[in-house]
Amino acid sequence: MLALAGASTGVVLATMGGKPAAVDGQAPAVPQSRPAPTASTSPVVPMLGGNADGSGQPLAVPVAKTTVTTPPGRTAPGSTTAPRTTAPGGTVSADTQAVGSSQPAKSPSVAPLSGLKQAGLLVVAPFSLSHKVLAAVSGQPGVTGAEPIEAAKIQINGAYTAVLGVNPSRFRGYASPSMAASSRLWQGVARGGVAVSYTMGTLDKLSLGGRVTVAGHQTERLPVVAFGTVGIGGVDAVVSDSVARSLGVPAGNAIIVSAAPSSVASLTAKIKAVLPKGAGVEALVTEVTRSDTASPVGTAPSAATSSGAVTAAELTAALRAAESRRGLPYVWGASGPSSFDCSGLVQWSFAQAGITMPRVAADQARAGLAVPATQLEPGDLLFYHTDPTDPGYISHVAIYLGNGWMIQAPQPGMDVEIVPASFGSEFAGAIRVYPHVASSVASGL
């Protein structure tokens, strides 16, 4: 399910009390093929979790030079919300126009979805990657697809956001199923709009059909054409490749690679060997072996149990750190020490105990061994599905404190709080953190 601007049919999601309202409708079925210009002189910032060289250093990617800034979490001055219409069936849509146009634009041609591909790895560099590099990556045994894209941190309404620039026709199959299936979404991107994740759209209080200020080599006011999760942890916005390049991102500075989860670990090392200096590769999926196949969290038991769990001293330090942040404000994208989002609170708290954690909730869910709710202990992490555009995506995390309580950074307008642990329909599972596993996920290994 997706929230779309300009949709006369289809599903638009409202929120009530911070939770998605009930909606009807399903994404159309699509075939499954999943196996289970010049160098940039811009500064660089982390893109996703980390580098595959074992150093634990994040992937360095260009950040377009900022010319205008707006405080994070606010709609830029002059932002407007497009007129909303009620479609048959009670869904709500917003009528949008092309960038810089006073008249509705003709829908661009976007190729239909021919199948889905597993986005297994991401190659990123702070400069354009050559066709020779693309060919070398594509030719690795086990690679089932490789698509050149742009990837960078770019300011959207003043907050640095991980953005992909793509050719909608060629990239859509790498996205999450519901997002991949939406031709209207990709037409909006091709027309010059931006699709943001459901989490960013709702938590940052963006207006579906309104415009955001995107500041790069030049500042552009882009319409928000959809709320939809791309399915790549940490990526919160997608634009067309031409928009990304106009913002100053080096053309083709990244490659999205499709591969079976079972081959990702070996491919990471092989691809790294053919990359130029300064480029990095990160695994986007981890093969998980467990008896509870319904649980979307936790890593393989053998990988975790052989490395040792958090010590009592580390656990005490992490919990004390988390509880010391009680009452501080939630800020989308913040990771402390004076404001936090949900995963930022987890990362910062465990860092005070000397434990390196991944940055986003979907990756933190791979930082240890899955544990049933009946066997929870203080320090375990609780995960939730709160994104209806991709119901399988982990989008919220909290820290279990024991005796039925948890601490979390909930949503904008609220503070870090201690509340009864929730095990309702949105509960996705829990893990016990294993520092070696967490560090490996954080470093992209």
Name the token pair of 20. 């998605």
Q: What total number of domains does the chain contain?
A: 2
Asked if 52 and 197 sit in the same domain, the reply is yes
Percent of the chain with pLDDT over 90: 44
Better-scored residue on pLDDT, 197 or 289: 197
Q: Are 307 and 434 in contact (CB under 8 A)?
A: yes
For residues 341 and 381, membership in a common domain is answered with: yes
Residues 139 and 92 in one domain: yes
Structural domain span for residue 234: 32-96+107-283
Same domain? 74 vs 112: yes
Its pTM stands at: 0.62
Q: Is residue 94's pLDDT more than 90?
A: no
Within this chain, do residues 328 and 418 fall inside the same structural domain, yes or no?
Answer: yes
Whether 383 is in a domain gets the answer yes
The verdict on residue 222 lying in a domain is: yes
Sign of CA dihedral 135, 137, 143, 147: negative
Between the CA atoms of 128, 129, 132 and 136, what dihedral angle is there, to the nearest 10 degrees?
180
Q: Picking from 62-66, 71-75, 233-237, 427-431, which range would have the lowest pLDDT averaged per residue?
A: 71-75
Let me know whether 272 and 328 are in one domain.
no
Mean pLDDT along residues 275-301: 65
Q: Which residue, 217, 249, 283, sits at the end of a domain? A: 283
Task: Write down the pLDDT at residue 367.
Answer: 92
Are 123 and 231 in the same domain? yes
The per-residue pLDDT for range 1-52, each reduced to its tens digit, is 455 554 432 222 222 222 222 323 333 333 333 333 233 333 333 344 333 3
Look at residue 325 in the predicted model and tell me its pLDDT. Answer: 95
The answer to whether residue 8 is domain-embedded is no
3-class state of residue 57 by DSSP: coil
Q: Please check whether residues 77 and 114 belong to one and the same domain.
A: yes
Mean pLDDT of 109-135: 93
Q: Are residues 261 and 384 in the same domain?
A: no
Question: Is residue 292 scored above 80 in pLDDT?
Answer: no
Predicted local distance difference test score (pLDDT) of residue 4: 56
314 in a structural domain: yes
* Domain match, 225 and 308 both: no
Say which CATH number the domain at 340 has. 3.90.1720.10
In a domain, 227, yes or no: yes
Residue ending a domain, choose from 283, 312, 328: 283
Least confident of 231-235, 306-310, 436-440: 306-310
pLDDT tens digits, one per residue of 369-415: 999 988 999 999 999 988 776 777 888 999 999 888 999 999 888 99
Same domain, 63 and 173: yes
Same structural domain, 120 and 209: yes
User: Which of 435, 305, 299, 308 is closest to 366 using CA atoms?
Assistant: 299
